[in-house]
Amino acid sequence: MVAASLSPVHGDDIKSLALPIVDLSCHRGLVSELIVKACEEFGFFKVINHGVPAAVISQMETIALDFFSLPAAEKQRAGPPNPLGYGNKAIGQSGDSGEVEYLLLHANPSISQRGSTISRMNPTKFSCVVNEYVESMQELAGEILELLGEGLGLADSGVLSRLIRDSESDSLLRLNHYPPCYNNKEDISSDSSNDKDTVRSGRIGFGEHSDPQIITLLRSNGVGGLQILSPSSSDGAAWVPVPPDPTTFYIMVGDLLQAMTNGRLVSVRHRAMVNSYSSRLSMVYFGAPPLHEWISPLPEMITPQMPRCYRSFTWAEYKRAMYSLRLGHNRLDHFRQDTMEEYPWLVK
């Protein structure tokens, strides 16, 4: 396990790997097959021709940068995170930390947003931009989950998408800002978006973890930093840098989707490294079900060859476990069918 740390990382195996790309403008049947394959092998893919208006993305990035450019005292008025709100360095409540500042917002517009009450910003404009972006993310996430349901051969292909489209969905929007980390202040390169600068810094912005929700849609600026843990192979697992592309979205399988597919789809482990010379901004939508929703392996995913792996639990139970554990902990291990009696404190 690689926990979030302010210390440089040494000795990690880094390798390049061809990452899957899915073009949503292709034939629907082909797209469904490609999504399933990518989620089985990587738990990750890049989606192009996604249909999200460039203006919606640009406005969201602008207002996020406006927030992070505020004086520290102003940003802190939106914190401390509990768990929503502004945070700096500290990640969660279990001692993890990283070189990141962030703003965590609920995706449901009816939920009060502490981050939208910044006195130096226009709260109405802030809320409108965030809501428009969230609506686009929910629509894109829903479309991807429907395609996934079709590719998996589910009798009800909409069973996954309805969870995040529910009026009580517990989806979130996270804005992460990673300031640059200069190893040598006299050697500042003009090529600030190169992934080599990220490797050179060797410092973790957000440590190794998997996302607990159903699905993650991540968009970042043109600065590298995102790395995913490659599937195990003959030469062992390794960290794979994800080349930045601000025109696309990166899709990640979350823990709940792994549980609902009985382990067929993989919840990808990933981390964010700090770039040596440029700040990185990522905007992350976490598609989640309502808190009271029961999560169970789908009937089609349980076979004699693949017996049930996970017990049933609510999203509220899983969130409670998530906040009680360290960032890099494999939370799903505690909800496996064969270990359900070992950790009673997680389900009280």
**Contacts with 75 (C-beta within 8 Å, 6 or more apart), sequence order:** 67, 68, 86, 88, 101, 118
The rounded distance, in Å, linking the Cα atoms of 209 and 332 is 12
Say whether pLDDT at 171 is over 50. Answer: yes
The rounded distance, in Å, linking the Cα atoms of 110 and 113 is 9
Which candidate in 200, 269, 280, 331 is catalytic?
280
**Contacts with 4 (C-beta within 8 Å, 6 or more apart), sequence order:** 91, 96, 97, 98, 204, 206, 207, 208, 271, 327, 328
Are 335 and 311 within 8 A, CB to CB? yes
Whether 326 sits among the annotated catalytic residues: the reply is no
Percent with pLDDT over 70 in the chain:
83
The rounded distance, in Å, linking the Cα atoms of 44 and 35 is 9
Cα angle value 60/61/65 (rounded, 5°): 120
The predicted-structure confidence for 147-158, as pLDDT tens digits, reads as follows 999 999 999 999
pLDDT band at 338 (very low <50, low <70, confident <90, very high): confident
The tokens 């406006």 sit on which residue? 66
Q: What pLDDT is attached to residue 248?
A: 97
What is the H or E stretch that residue 217 is in? strand 215-220
Q: What pLDDT is attached to residue 199?
A: 52
Q: For residues 312-335, b (16+ Cβ closer than 10 Å) or e, as one string?
A: ebbbebbbbbbeebbbbbebbebb
The residues facing 97 across adjacent strands are 90
Q: Can you tell me the mean pLDDT for 10-30?
A: 86
Q: What pLDDT is attached to residue 141?
A: 98
The rounded distance, in Å, linking the Cα atoms of 124 and 319 is 30
The predicted-structure confidence for 100-143, as pLDDT tens digits, reads as follows 999 999 998 766 555 445 656 788 899 899 999 999 999 999 99
Say whether pLDDT at 343 is over 60. Answer: no
The rounded distance, in Å, linking the Cα atoms of 211 and 139 is 20
Are 16 and 241 within 8 A, CB to CB? yes
Mean pLDDT estimate for the chain? 86
Are 127 and 109 within 8 A, CB to CB? yes
Say whether pLDDT at 345 is over 50. Answer: no
pLDDT band at 186 (very low <50, low <70, confident <90, very high): very low
Model-level pTM? 0.89
Classified as helix, coil or strand, 177 is strand
Q: Which of 131, 205, 176, 147 is CA-nearest to residue 281? A: 176
